[in-house]
Amino acid sequence: NIGHQYYDNVKVYGVDIDDTPLAAAKSNIISIPCINLYIDGVEKTRSVGFKTEEEVLDILRKHEVI
C-alpha cells in the first residue's frame, strides 16, 4: 500500500462520493476513480480512471513526492 510504504511523504485519503457529496463537490470530483495530488494544499495534478500501483508511483515520482 502506497500510503503505508511512503507514510513520511504521502498521505492517502479516500472519499465515498455517495456518502459525502459535498467533499466530492469541493474537490470538483465528477468522475471516479479519481486521484488528486495536492502539494502544500495546491492541486498539482488530477488523474481519472483506474491506475495500477506503479502508475500511481510514476505520478508521485513525476512531481518529486517520492
Q: What is the pLDDT of residues 30-65, one digit of tens each?
A: 899 999 999 999 999 999 999 999 999 999 999 999
Q: Which three cell numbers stand for residue 56?
A: 500511481
Distance CA(19)–CA(3), nearest Å, equals: 22
Report pTM.
Answer: 0.85
Distance CA(3)–CA(15), nearest Å, equals: 15
Three-state DSSP state, 45: strand
Q: Which three cell numbers stand for residue 16?
A: 465515498
